[in-house]
Amino acid sequence: MDWQSIDLKTAFRAEIVAPEQVNDRHFIVVSDGDILGCDAHEHWQPLNEDELRWSGLEVASQHFLGWVDQTALYAVEVDSDADEPEGYHFETLWSFLNSVDINLFYLIGRAKQIVEWFQTHRYCGQCGDSTSAESSDRSRKCNSCGLMFYPRLSPSIIVCINKGQQILLAKNANARANFYSVLAGFVEPGESIEETVRREVMEEVGIRVKNVQYFGSQSWPFPNSLMLGFHAEYESGEINIQEEELSDAQWFDYDQLPNPPAMISISGWLIQDFIDRARQGAA
């Protein structure tokens, strides 16, 4: 299969129950959050059955992801202390962010999240007994008390705030890279996502916003977020940053933005969407 040319957005069909017999299987191999690649390929792609066998790595768990056309795709967990086999290499998920097609990145992220969910839910958090996989859906059930566990997702908002043709961008206090982005934060229990937008903005920069409008979403597997994107307009207040979270926050003209995030992320999409609309308004 030519993984570089296939349109995974339409070719991939997510399923849970693995087929009993299949002619072609490929594997996304995960070890301690890193992804295994084969040096024989110019571009990264899932391993076929021979490549997985030749790696010599012992499979700890295997999880059916679905189909890519007629190919069955699996996430595979191997020992977190496994050495890098000769002819293979491990890569962090971050390294794929700008090096593969966005839909292939989503598949890799899906595999990593499912493996990590399985690793952290082998035992029940309520009674401590072991769990087992259910056959009808992607879940695990405690063998003693019956408590159910499903893959964990953490809903998060990300919001692009504008004041006229200016945009509010901030620098994360703990980020390694020196770039500015829009504000983001996790949804708290009992909140609507619109309430989260208003609360996070007030907590992080001390201003009020209005006209909160939904933009779109993105799976963000660092480690298991679902990013819900919004546009919002400045209403009132002066910037007063939450220093534990941010090192700086400023208003910038749409055509004079500092070091923006990558366009593969929803933060980049939000910023570009505002720039496009601001240019249209200025034309």
Q: What is the pLDDT of residue 1?
A: 78
Q: Measure the CA–CA gap between 207 and 135, rounded to whole angstroms.
A: 49
Q: What is the pLDDT of residue 283?
A: 52
Q: What is the pLDDT of residue 162?
A: 97
Q: What is the pLDDT of residue 52?
A: 97
Q: What is the pLDDT of residue 97?
A: 87
Report which of 30, 34, 36, 45 is spatially closest to residue 87, judged by C-alpha positions. Answer: 36
In the chain, the amino acid numbered 152 is: R
Q: What is the pTM of this model?
A: 0.91
Residues 6 or more apart from 248 whose CB is under 8 A from it? Answer: 170, 171, 180, 241
Domains of the chain: 8-120 (3.90.79), 154-282 (3.90.79.10)
Q: What is the pLDDT of residue 270?
A: 96
pLDDT in tens, the chain (283 residues): 788 889 999 999 999 988 888 889 999 999 999 999 999 999 999 999 999 999 999 999 999 999 999 999 999 999 888 889 999 999 999 999 888 999 999 999 999 999 999 999 999 999 999 999 988 899 999 999 999 999 999 999 999 999 999 999 999 998 777 789 999 999 999 999 999 999 999 999 999 999 999 999 999 999 999 999 999 999 999 999 999 999 999 999 999 998 777 788 999 999 999 999 999 886 5
